[in-house]
Structure 1
Amino acid sequence: MKFLVATSAVLTLLSVSASSAVAIETITVSATPIPVDDTGSSITVITREELQRRNAGIQSLLRSVPGFAVSQQGSIGAVTQLRVRGAEANQILVMINGIEVNDLSQGGEFDFSQIAINDIERIEIVRGPQSAIWGSDAMAGIVHIITTPEVRATQYSAYIESGSFATTRTTFSGNLCSDKNQTKLSVDYLDSDGTNISRTGSEEDGLENLTLSLSGRYTPSDSLDVTYTLRHTDKTTEFDGVDFFTTGLPVDADNTTDSNYLYGGISFSHLLNDVFDHSLAFSITESDSSTKPSSDEQSGIRQQLRYQLNATGESHRVSVRAERESEDFKQRGAASFFGDPNQNRDASTSSIAVEYRFDQDNLHLSLSGRHDNNSEFDDSSSWRATTNFRFGETTVFASIGESIKNPTFTERYGFFTNFIGNPDLKPEESMQWEVGARRSFMDDRLDLSLTWFEADLENEINGFAFSPMTFGFTSTNVDDESDRQGAELTLSYIATERFSIKANYSYLDATQDDFSGNAITEVRRP
C-alpha cells in the first residue's frame, strides 16, 4: 500500500514566560465561543506570541499545522493554496474576523499570498467537516484569521526591512483604546523583484502588495457589542507561462496579474437577559483580477446577512441561525474559436442552522444541522455531532458529520485558453469522522495529541478532465468514491522559559476505484 506522510518541527526561543504562553482560552469557529479544552474536533491555535517569535510568513506557519499542505505556484506572491487531509483548496473555508473570504473569481479558493502577519492577533484552525454551521465551503475545515485587537492598550509600531532579491517591506500598526472603543489600523507594503522558476531564461517574477486594514470593537453598554472590519489589498504579481505541449514546465513570459480584494463587515451582539442573546452581522467581499497580456478579467461579489439567537441554561445551550447569501460572478475576455467567455452569473442561498451543546465538568456534547435552499442546485442538508470527555490530564474527543460542497462558478462557467466549464455539475458530498486524544504532562509543559480520521467523498469534481468535444479541458463529477484515512500526531514541549519545541507528523492513505472496481492509490497532499 502506498501512502503519503508529512512531518515538521519547530524550535522556538521564547521571549515570554511559560505561564503566559497559553493566552487563548476560547475559540470562535463554532456557533458560539467555546473553551479550547471542550472542543470535540482537531484544533490548532496560532497565537500572536507565536507569530512574533517565529517571524515567518503565513505559508511557513500553515505548513507546521498537522494535516495541512501548502503549495506556492511560483516565486514570491504567486498563488498559494492550502489543502487539508487530502481535500482540495476550495473545500476549506477561510474567514477574516468572521467574514468569509474564499474568492468567487478564482474557483472558490483563498490565495494566502495576500496575507501579511503583522496585524494578525491569532489564527484558529478546525479540521474536519464544518458545513453544519458554516455551509458549503467548510467541507474539510476552517481557518479563521483574527485581526480585531485583544489588548486594551494604546500602542504603535512600525518597521522597515530589506533583503535578497531587492525585497523591501514596510509596515505600520496602531492600536487606539478608550473605555468603550478599541480600534486597530495597519498598513503593510511589500515589494520584491522575486526569482526565476523557469528552467530556461533569466526573467524574474516580482510582487508588489499593499494591504490596508481597519478593525475594532465598540462597546456602548454592558449588553451591546459592535465589531467592524474593513480590509483592502492591492496586489500585482508577475508569473511565467507553461509549455503545455512539450515539457509541461514553466517558461519565461512577461505575464502579470493585477488583483484587488475588499473585505468589509459589521456585527452587532446584544445580551437580552440571563438566558437569551442574539446577533446580527452583515459582510461583503469583492475580488477583481485581470491578467496581461491576455486581458482576461474575473470578478466576484459575495454579500451575506446572518442572524443568530442563543439560549443558554446551566448545562445546555441552543443556537439558531438564519442566513442569506448572494453571489455574483463576472468574466471578460476575447472571444475565440472555443466561444465567447464574456458572461455574468449569480446565485443565492437561504439557510437555517441549529446547534445544541451540553456542557458539564468533564463531558461536552454537541449536535448541529443545517439546511440550504439553493437557487442553482437541489436543497441540501448537513449535520455534525461531537463529544469530548476529560478524565485527569487526558481528553478524548470524537466527531462525525456529513458535509457538502457546491460547484464553483469557475467549475461551472469558467472559460479560459483551454478550459470550458460544465454547468451540469452536481455538488460534492462527504461523510467524515475522527477520534483522538490529548494529554498534558510535566505540569502542562508537555502536550501530546493523536488523531485518526476517515473520509468518503462522492461526486468528486475533477477540474482538469479532457473533453473530446473541444479537445480542451472541462470539469466533471467522478463516478467512484474517494476514500481517505490518516493520522496526525503533535508534540509541544516547553523546555525552559526561553526555549520550546513543536513537532507534528501527518499520514494520509487515499484510494479510489478504477473502471474495473479495483482500488488504486490517489496522490493527495496530507
Structure 2
Amino acid sequence: MNFCKLSLFATAALAPLVAHADPDDDRIVVVASGVAQRADTVGRSITTIDRDEIEQRQTVALSDLLATTPGVTAVRNGGLGTATALSIRGAQSDQTLVLIDGIRVADPSATGGAYNFASLLAGSVERVEVLRGPNSVIWGSQAIGGVVNVTTLQGAQGLHVRGNAEGGSFGTFNGNAAIAGGNDRITAGLTAGYLTTDGISAAANGKEADGYRQVGATGNVEVQLAPGLALDLRGYYADSKVDLDGYAPPTYAFGDTGEYAKTQELYGYAGLKNEAFGGKLHNRLGFTLSDIHRDGYNEDSSIAYRYRGRAERYTYQGDATLAEQLRLVFGAEHEQSRIRYDEGFGSGGRYSVGITSVYGQAIVTPVAPVTLTGGVRHDDHDTFGGHWTWNADLAVRATAGTVLHASFGEGFKAPTLYQLYSAYGDRALRPETTRSYEAGVRQTLAGGKVALGATWFHRDSDNQIDYNFDTSTYYNLNKTRAQGVELEALLQPVQALTVRANVTHVFSENRSADYRGNDLPRRPRDTANVSADYRFPFGLAIGGTVTMVGDSFNDVGNRTPIDGYALAGVRAEMPVTKLLSVYGRVDNIGDVRYQQITGYGTYGRAAFGGVRVRF
C-alpha cells in the first residue's frame, strides 16, 4: 500500500521531533526485576501507561491501546471479543507473558498457552508496563518475547470513586464502576464492568453481526497484621460470550454461522508480605491460581468443544538491600499446570505437568550514574529436565538528560500440554529458546519538554513452535530471527499540549530450510503511531490518533499478502462539573476497509459517547 509506506517514511523522518518516551525517568517500574525500581536504572525498553492516558484515549479494549506503543502489534479475528493476539518485536503471541496484579494469566489449555487479550478490557486497569524483549530470569517460561504487567485499581487511604458509561455504534454499551479506600490498618479496591455489543461479522464476507458481552470484576485487600507483616489478597473474574463464524456445510467456506463461545476466567492471589531489618529485607510468600473454562457451541446450542485450563503457582521472593550499591532479588517457584479437554470429534484427555524454578539477580551501582544488573535462573521441568537462563543489562546516566542502555537476555519455553498431547500435538517437540540483544539511548531536552528514544534490537530463536497446516500438527521451526529499530519520543511544548509518536521497523524472518528468508505470518515490517492531545483553558480536551501498519503476509509461504493500512480517530471530553464530564470519539474516521487476518472482518467508522464521574 503506497500511501501507508509513504506515511511511515514521513513519520520516521519526524520521529526525532515527536514520539512516545516517558520524559520522567524518575518513574518507578516493576516489570524489569520484579521489584520497584527507578526507570533510569533499568537497561531494558519499557513503556508505561497510566490511568490518565487510558481515560484520555477513551480505551475500551486494552489491546487497542497497547498496539499504539513501540514494537507492539495486535491482530483480532473479527470484532470486539474475538481472539486477540499481541506480538512484541515480531515474537509469537504465546511468547508474551501477561501478568494481572502479579498473577500469570496464560491459559494452559490454549494451543500455545497464550493469553487471549480479547478478555482484557480497560475499565479496571490503573497502570500497564510493557517490557520489550525477554525477561525469563525473573518471570520464567513464556517471557521470551516480552512482558505485559497490568495493575488494576488498588486500595488507598481515604475514599476514591470513579465510573463511566458509554454507548454508540453497533449497539454498544460499556459501563464501569470502581471504588477504593482504607486506613492505616486495611485498604481495599473493587471494580466492576459490563460491556455488550451487537458487533460486526467475524467473516469479512458475512452479513450477520457477531455480538459480544462481558461481565467482569476485580478486587484486592491488604491487611496489616503486625508491624512489617501484611496479608495480601487479589482476585480477577471475567465471564464472556462471543458469537462466531465458521465453516458450514455443504461448501465449508468461511462465512456466517450461528456458532458461539463462552469463557470464564478466574485469577486469584493470596500472600504474606514481610519487611525486616529496617526495610533492608522484603519477603513475599504467595499462592496464585489461574482457572479458565472455554466452551464452544454449535448453531443448535449443542456443545462443540470444552477446554479447562488450571495453573497453581507457589512462590517466594526476597529483596535484600545489602548496601547502597548492592541489591539482591532472589526466589523460588513451583507451578503445576493442568488441562482437560473434549474437542467433540473423539479427541480429548487430561494432562498435567510441573516446573520448579530458582533464580537470583543482582542490581549493582558501582558509581552513581551506572547500574549493572545480572541474573540467572534454573528451571526443572517434569518432561524436559533442567535448563539455565541468563540475563544482564546496563543503564548509564551519561548526562542529566541522557540515559544509555543495553541488555542481553535468554528465554526458555517448553511445549504446552496441548501442543504435546492433543490430536494436533507432537510428543517429540523440543523447547523453544531465544537469545536477545538491544542497545539504545533515551534523551530529554528543553527541560523535559522533549523526550527522545532510539533502540536497536536483535533476537534469535531456536525450535520455535508453529502449526503445520499440511500435516495438521505442531512442529519446531529450525530458527527464526527478528531484528529492527524503535524510535520514540514525546513533545510537550506547553502544559496543555502533548504529542506522542513512535516508529518501529522489524524484520521477523523464518530461517528454516523450507522457508528461509520469508517473513513470519502477520508480522508487518513497519508500524507507526502519532497521537496529539490539547486541553483548552475552559476545560475542553480534544485529541486524535493515527495508526499506520505496513504490508504483511497471512501465511508461512508468503503467498497471501495483507495490505497495509492507516487509521485515524478523533476524541473530545468536556467537564460539566468538577465531578462530571461528557466525552465522545470517532474511530476509523476515514471508514477505511482493511484486514488484519485474511478473511476476517474489521470495524469501519464508529462513533461513541459517554459520561464519566470521579471523586
- Relative to the length of structure 2, the TM-score reads 0.77
After TM superposition, list the pairs within 5 Å mapping 1:75-474 onto structure 2.
75-107=79-111, 108-149=113-154, 151-242=156-247, 250-274=254-278, 275-293=280-298, 294-312=303-321, 313-335=323-345, 340-359=346-365, 360-392=367-399, 393-415=401-423, 420-467=424-471, 473-474=472-473
**What is the SS of the residue equivalent to 2:390?**
strand
Structure 1 CA distance, aligned partners of 2:490 and 2:250? 48
**For structure 1, which runs of at least 5 residues remain unmatched after alignment?**
10-19, 468-472
Contact 2:156–2:188 (8 Å) recurs in 1: no
Structure 2 CA distance for partners of 1:333 and 1:64, relative to 1, 3 Å:
closer
C-alpha displacement of 1:120: 1.2
CA shift in 2, pair 1:76/1:366, >3 Å: same
| Paired residue secondary structure (1:410) | helix
String of CA shifts for 1:112-134, please: whole Å, max 9, x gaps: 12122122110011111111111
2:268 aligned counterpart, secondary structure: strand
In the TM superposition, 1:51-66 aligns within 5 A as 51-57=54-60, 58-66=62-70
C-alpha separation in 1, matches of 2:173 and 2:209: 16
TM-fit CA distance, 1:518: 5.9
Distance in 1 (CA, whole Å) between partners of 2:139 and 2:104 is 9
SS of the counterpart of 2:63?
helix
SS at match of 1:253: coil
Distance 2:243 2:92 in 1: 25
Q: Contact conserved, 2:156 with 2:183, CA < 8 A, in 1?
A: no
Q: Relative to structure 1, is the Cα distance of residues 262 and 438 closer, same or farther in structure 2, using a 3 angstrom cutoff?
A: same
CA separation of 1:166 and 1:512: change in aligned 2, threshold 3 A: closer
* Residue 23 of structure 1, CA deviation: 10
Change (3 A) 1:454 1:192: same
Distance 1:47 1:451 in 2: 23
Query: 2:448 aligns to what SS in structure 1?
Result: coil
Distance 2:101 2:128 in 1: 10
Task: Give the C-alpha shift of residue 50 in structure 1.
Answer: 0.9
Structure 2 Cα separation of the partners of residues 465 and 513 of structure 1? 18
Other-structure match for 1:34: 37
Counterparts of 1:128 and 1:289 in 2: how far apart (Å)?
A: 30
Task: Say if 1:270 and 1:464 are closer, same or farther in 2 by CA, change over 3 A.
Answer: same
Specify whether residues 202 and 382 from structure 1 end up closer, same or farther in structure 2 by C-alpha distance, changes over 3 A only.
Answer: same
Which residue does 1:15 correspond to in 2? none
* Pair 1:311–1:158, CA change in 2 (3 A): closer
| 3-state SS, counterpart of residue 254 of structure 1 | coil
- The 3 A distance-change label for structure 1 pair 68 and 130 is same
Query: Aligned pair in 2 of structure 1 residues 513, 230: CA closer, same or farther (>3 Å)?
Result: closer
C-alpha deviation, 1:217, in angstroms: 2.8
CA distance in structure 2 between the aligned counterparts of 1:197 and 1:277, rounded to whole angstroms: 49
- Find the aligned partners of 1:81 and 1:240 in 2 and give their Cα distance: 18
Structure 1 residue 367, shift from structure 2 partner = 0.6
Say whether residues 1:510 and 2:508 are aligned partners. yes
In structure 1, C-alpha distance between the alignment counterparts of 2:217 and 2:25, rounded to whole Å: 27
CA 1:185–1:382 in structure 2 vs 1: closer, same or farther (change >3 Å)?
Answer: same
Superposed CA deviations along residues 187-242 of structure 1, whole A, max 9, x for unmatched, are 10001111124344421100010001112333344412333211111000001114
SS in 1 for 2:447: coil
Deviates more, 1:292-301 or 1:91-100: 292-301
Report the more deviating stretch, 116-125 or 222-231: 222-231
Report the Cα distance in structure 2 between the residues aligned to 1:463 and 1:476, rounded to whole angstroms: 6
2:123 counterpart SS class: coil
Task: Quickly say closer, same or farther: Cα 1:40–1:200, change in 2 above 3 A.
Answer: closer
- What is the CA-CA distance between 1:401 and the residue it aligns to? 1.6
Q: What letter corresponds to residue 342 of structure 1 in structure 2? A: G
Shift of 1:5: 11
2:52 maps to a residue whose letter is E
Contact kept? 1:484, 1:510, Cα under 8 Å: yes
Specify the alignment match of 2:477 in structure 1. Answer: 478
Query: What percent identity do the matched residue pairs reach?
Result: 25
Flag the 1:333–1:514 CA change in 2: closer, same or farther, 3 A: closer
2:508, 2:80 → 1: CA distance?
Answer: 31
SS in 2 for 1:496: coil
Equivalence for 2:492: 494
Q: Is the 8 A contact 2:509 2:517 kept in 1?
A: yes
- Conserved? CA contact 1:162–1:168, under 8 Å: yes
Conservation of the 8 A alpha-carbon contact between 1:448 and 1:490: yes
Give the partner amino acid of 1:475: Y
Amino acid aligned to 2:454 = L
Rounded Cα–Cα distance in structure 2 between residues aligned with 1:328 and 1:24: 41
The alpha-carbon deviation at position 178 of structure 1 amounts to: 1.6
CA distance in structure 1 between the partners assigned to 2:7 and 2:118 by the alignment = 22
Contact 1:203–1:252 (8 Å) recurs in 2: yes
SS in 2 for 1:44: strand
Q: Give yes or no for contact 1:5–1:508 (8 Å, CA) kept in 2.
A: no
Change (3 A) 1:517 1:158: closer
Q: Could you tell me how far apart the structure 1 residues matched to 2:320 and 2:174 are?
A: 47
Deviations 1:64-100 (A, max 9, x none): 1111011111111111110011111110100001000
Conserved? CA contact 1:24–1:47, under 8 Å: no
Provide the aligned C-alpha RMSD in A.
Answer: 2.4
C-alpha distance in 2 between matches for 1:6 and 1:512: 27
How far apart, CA to CA, are the structure 2 residues paired with 1:72 and 1:236?
A: 16
Alpha-carbon distance change, 485 to 423 in structure 1, aligned in 2, over 3 angstroms: same
Residues 34, 199 of structure 1: alpha-carbon distance in 2 compared, 3 angstrom cutoff: closer
Q: Distance in 2 between matches of 1:454 and 1:243?
A: 43
| Most deviating of 114-123 and 221-230 | 221-230
Aligned counterparts, 1:42-57, within 5 A:
42-57=45-60
Kindly indicate whether the alpha-carbon contact (under 8 Å) linking 2:101 and 2:150 is maintained by their aligned counterparts in 1.
Answer: yes
Does the Cα contact within 8 Å between 1:31 and 1:355 map onto a contact in 2? Answer: no
TM-score, normalised relative to structure 1: 0.89
CA distance in 1, matches of 2:255, 2:503: 35
Match of 1:32, SS state, is: coil
Distance in 2, matches of 1:128 and 1:212, equals: 30
Q: Deviations over 1:382-407 (max 9, x none)?
A: 11000000121110000002111111
**Residues matched between the structures, number:** 498
Q: What whole-Å deviation, never above 9, does each CA across 1:312-359 have from its counterpart, x for those lacking one?
A: 122101122111110000001334xxxx31200000011110101102
**Structure 2 CA distance, aligned partners of 1:270 and 1:516?**
54
